[in-house]
Amino acid sequence: MSTQERDQDAADRVRHLIANGPDVNMGGRFGTMTRVARRMIGRAVLYERHYHHQIDLALLETIEGVARNADVDRRNAAQEVAALQARLASLEGRVTEVAGRITDESARLGEMAGRIADVDMRSAVTAGVAENATESADRVGEDLSAMRPAITSLQDRFTAIAREAKALVAAVDAARADGEKARFLFDDLTATPYMADEHLFRGTDERGRRTLAFTNGPGSTAVYPGFEDIFRGPPPFVRERQAVYVGLLREHAPVLDLGSGRGEMLELLAEAGIPARGVDLDLAMVERARATGAQVEHGDALAYLAKEADQSLGAVFSAQFIEHIPQDRLPELIELSLAKLEPGGVFIAETVNPHSPRALKSFWVDPTHQHPLFPETMLVLCQLSGFDAAEIVFPAGSNDLETDLRTCGEYAVVATRRKSE
């Protein structure tokens, strides 16, 4: 075979490779997936491959021209052949690079195939679990259906027990309430009168028995002041309980305190800068009040009030006084107070609360008391006497009327004269 013939065969083979490219149907490590990847990559580099085909065809035509033109300088031909070989080596490098890409893509496809297989396996497992869950749910439903009568019976029993428990709780609450009422009644009915010193007359005799008695008395002294000290309490205690009235009297000066006693209210009003004076029938009490700096007159309170000019007072006040007034003079006291008050003035009278069993029992500890006065009685008397409005207040109350009626030892009626008449 001549050199020209061999060159002609090589040219045909090169032309065939240039026209058809690499065989993408060759087998590989991953079988069909390798062929798919090669086709995909082949399509991706189709433009580049076409470009190199044109170059390769031009080179091939150059080689053929060199072979046909015998008068071409051999040296130049050798150089052209060397350049052609370098170009072919470059193309082989590119082919190797493309082959590497194909290998990488094949590996990725293999990884994806493995993931797909894993997902398929998990799907199968999930389907099995779901099927088992459905079977379990069916069995549970059957069990519940079988248990439903027993559950209904238990519910009925629980309902009955709850009803009985509710009735029992109500009975216990009622019994507790009754017990509290009984305890309250017992405590109040057996209560002893308030004394500044609860141990004052308590003692034991020679046989060890408890007694009410005293020995080694201090001798003769003023009766009513001493009585007040024991059964009313010391002045600081009384001032603390009467301080609530200062706010009611602040805008109603001057104030006249009927039965002012030791002068506790007069001291409070003086400290608040409210003009006030008092009157009391007991001279010893008057002297004690004057010792505090209070302005107090000695005499009958109603007679003193009657001498006041009409509509000259801002307030007429008394504490633990009206229960000492004879029954037939009580309306007179209220009517006189109304006449002496200026328009808008107030009449305040504190007294023992007979709604409280404890207070009512202790009422008679003071022999000068005339009769207990219910708050309803005082409201009626104030209304019939001509006051515009009146209300009952409890100086030591809880602001709950029913509780205060039962437990507070004293109350006050606060009556107001009409502002314009």
What average pLDDT is seen over the chain? Answer: 78
Residue with tokens 């998990």: 122
**379 band by pLDDT with thresholds 50, 70 and 90:** very high
Going from N- to C-terminal start, the domains of the chain cover 3-132, 223-416
Cα–Cα distances in angstroms (integers) from residue 253 to residues 154, 235, 257, in the given order: 76, 23, 11
- Residue 51 burial (10 A CB sphere; 0-12, 13-18, 19+): exposed
223-416: CATH topology is Rossmann fold (3.40.50)
What confidence tens digit (pLDDT) does each residue in 333-363 have?
999 999 999 999 999 999 999 999 988 988 8
- pLDDT recorded at residue 30: 59
Q: In what helix (H) or strand (E) does residue 271 lie, and over which residues does it extend? A: helix 264-271
**178 Cα distance to chain centroid:** 34
- pLDDT recorded at residue 208: 78
The dihedrals phi and psi of 157, each to the nearest 5 degrees, come to -65, -40
What confidence tens digit (pLDDT) does each residue in 227-264 have?
566 656 788 888 998 999 999 999 999 999 999 999 99
**152 band by pLDDT with thresholds 50, 70 and 90:** confident
Residue 255 to residue 343: CA distance in whole angstroms: 14
What is the residue-wise DSSP string for 320-384? S-GGGS-GGGHHHHHHHHHHHEEEEEEEEEEEE-TTSHHHHHHHTTSTT------HHHHHHHHHH
**11 band by pLDDT with thresholds 50, 70 and 90:** low
- pLDDT recorded at residue 165: 76
Residue with tokens 């004293």: 410
8 Å CB contact between 275 and 334: no
- pLDDT recorded at residue 361: 85
- pLDDT recorded at residue 371: 93
Global pTM value: 0.55
> How many CB atoms are closer than 10 A to CB 257?
29
Provide the token pair at 51: 């470009």
8 Å CB contact between 34 and 27: yes
| Percent over 90 (pLDDT), the chain | 39
Q: Are strands 296-298 and 210-212 parallel, antiparallel or unpaired?
A: unpaired
Q: Is 217 helix (H, G, I), strand (E, B) or coil?
A: coil
